[in-house]
A = this chain, B = another copy of it.
Amino acid sequence: MALRAGDRSQVAMNGLKEKVLTLDTMNPCVRRVEYAVRGPIVLRALELEQELRQGVKKPFTEVIRANIGDAQAMGQKPITFLRQVLALCVHPDLLNSPDFPEDAKRKAERILQACGGHSLGAYSVSSGIQLIREDVARYIERRDGGIPSDPNNIYLSTGASDAIVTVLKLLVAGEGPTRTGVLIPIPQYPLYSAALAELNAVQVDYYLDEERAWALDVAELRRALCQARGHCCPRALCIINPGNPTGQVQARECIEAVIRFAFEERLFLMADEVYQDNVYAEGSQFHSFKKVLTEMGPPYATQQELASFHSVSKGYMGECGFRGGYVEVVNMDPAVQQQMQKLMSVRLCPPVPGQVLLSMVVSPPAPSDPSFAQFQAERQVVLAELAAKAKLTEQVFNEAPGIRCNPVQGAMYSFPRVQLPPRAVQRAQELGLAPDMFFCMSLLEETGICVVPGSGFGQREGTYHFRMTILPPMEKLRPLLEKLSQFHAKFTREYS
């Protein structure tokens, strides 16, 4: 591998050395990482946008990026109160301005008091500003009907992504047959597969049941676990509820069954609950794993290990760019918790503006506050529109022959199943593409609509899907859905 001195000087003579860092010499785990949400289809979308700007003629006038759950990129306005408080914190001279409501000023002053040097520009403690951790704990208590939450079990993070990867890092150990396995849903949010690849852990797939609106079935968990036990050491179970990309909201009984299963089988539970405020369907309700686990009493309440994740990127606020989030750990070994704290301290601290936004999300204006009415109204508009868009999406797709879409009970996506004609599948194979990637690429080239192929999230062999966010504004969403359905019909005719 290493060149000997003689070879080396020869290479030097013709003036060219091989690079130190190449595909062959780089970290093989990183090479194995895949991340479809920002993969080739998105790169092509960026190119198309550039071509449009340069005046290249296309069969469409704009690229619509329906590939990612990014509300404000889709035109959603920020919640006024959140931005008022943050602006005050960023530039405290504004505390003297008459243009800001009293409660926003009070919040900002309270937060600045809790910052080093009374400034957002200081590093915070690595686990996040203590005051905000306390606000989060109180929020969780309200959410869970009074079940206690300890601020010392809450760690603020750089978006939920950061906290999820941190907890996975703790769990990874072993080699060969003792290598850590982690159960993740299929379809999944590809942060999980990417992080597991990078950490060289074993991804253990359990399939959600498309026929039953993407329900999670404990029998399937058991199948996946038993099969995995042959070649790795499964130690954690990830759940995404409400589901991304699948949009289901889990029933309470289902959560209970999952907790019993995890306890029996000695699995650390990771509950990705970043869409906890995004529940739309009649009869659906969000139940936190923490609440259900606690209400089940001992031994679950006292022993089952759990990490629950939340974010400022989703919900009604959609403040993705600020990278705020948190994890609450339950029943975690205190010594491991210390290790987690140490690990977080290496990166110094999560971004303080994201912490500030999180503090607003968990302690919004109270009914007696001057900002309450406007805050509530803005929040309600966003959530009501999302509910309407969820319904519309399901409805339009299900009217299209060859497309079948489960109800979007929650989160921000539909994940419809599409029939692709055999000749299209064959053509895709000739091109070396997954059939649904071929479909999505064709869609993008012809309509400018950017969605992500199901293969990026995982799906049962021989089925094809795509994920589309429901976030575009109502007046754009309906034509978008119709255009997409029409393109599918045309594509089907073309390859039949």
Instruction: Please encode chain A, from 83 to 109, with 1 for each CB lying within 8 Å of some chain B CB and 0 for all others.
Output: 110110011011001010000000000
Tell me the number of copies of this protein: 2
Whether B27 pairs with A169 at a CB distance below 8 angstroms is yes
Asked if A17 lies at the interface with its beta carbon under 8 angstroms from chain B, I say yes
Asked if A476 lies at the interface with its beta carbon under 8 angstroms from chain B, I say no
Whether B27 pairs with A305 at a CB distance below 8 angstroms is no
- Mark out the residues of chain A between 10 and 54 whose CB falls within 8 Å of any chain B CB in the assembled complex: 12, 15-17, 19-23, 25-28, 30-31, 33-35, 37-38, 46
Asked if A268 lies at the interface with its beta carbon under 8 angstroms from chain B, I say yes
- CA distance in complex: A2, B94 (Å): 60
- CA distance in complex: A291, B221 (Å): 57
- Mark out the residues of chain A between 163 and 201 whose CB falls within 8 Å of any chain B CB in the assembled complex: 165, 169-173, 178, 190-191, 194-195, 198
Chain A: interface residue count, which band? 35 or more
In whole Å, how far is A48's beta carbon from the nearest beta carbon of chain B? 15
Asked if A122 lies at the interface with its beta carbon under 8 angstroms from chain B, I say yes
- Among residues of B, the one whose C-beta sits closest to the C-beta of A97 is B99
**Residues of B close to A162: CB separation below 8 A:** 347
The residue that A115 contacts in the complex, of B22, B28, B321, with Cβ under 8 A, is B321
A76-B117, A123-B321, A322-B353 in contact; A171/B90 too (CB < 8 A)?
Answer: no
Whether A161 pairs with B347 at a CB distance below 8 angstroms is yes
Whether B78 pairs with A83 at a CB distance below 8 angstroms is no
Whether A19 pairs with B305 at a CB distance below 8 angstroms is yes
Whether B342 pairs with A33 at a CB distance below 8 angstroms is yes
Whether A25 pairs with B350 at a CB distance below 8 angstroms is no
**Residues of B close to A352: CB separation below 8 A:** 321-323
Say which one of A67-75, A209-217, A245-253, A432-440 lies at the interface with B: A67-75
Whether A172 pairs with B27 at a CB distance below 8 angstroms is yes
In whole Å, how far is A175's beta carbon from the nearest beta carbon of chain B? 10
Asked if A346 lies at the interface with its beta carbon under 8 angstroms from chain B, I say yes
A12-B299, A123-B73, A161-B346 in contact; A23/B351 too (CB < 8 A)?
Answer: no
Whether A20 pairs with B94 at a CB distance below 8 angstroms is no
- Among residues of B, the one whose C-beta sits closest to the C-beta of A303 is B17
**Residues of B close to A342: CB separation below 8 A:** 33-35
Whether A75 pairs with B117 at a CB distance below 8 angstroms is yes
Asked if A349 lies at the interface with its beta carbon under 8 angstroms from chain B, I say yes
Residue with the greatest number of chain B CB neighbours at <10 A, chosen from A8, A25, A331: A25
Asked if A119 lies at the interface with its beta carbon under 8 angstroms from chain B, I say yes
Q: Can you list 10 contacts pairing A with B, beta carbon distance less than 8 Å?
A: A19-B336, A22-B333, A26-B339, A38-B348, A72-B117, A73-B116, A93-B99, A158-B347, A323-B323, A351-B353
A residues near B, CB below 8 A?
A: 1-2, 8, 12, 15-17, 19-23, 25-28, 30-31, 33-35, 37-38, 46, 68, 70-76, 78, 83-84, 86-87, 90-91, 93-94, 97, 99, 115-117, 119-126, 158-159, 161-162, 165, 169-173, 178, 190-191, 194-195, 198, 233, 235-236, 263, 266-268, 298-299, 303, 305, 313, 317-323, 331-333, 335-336, 339, 342-343, 345-354
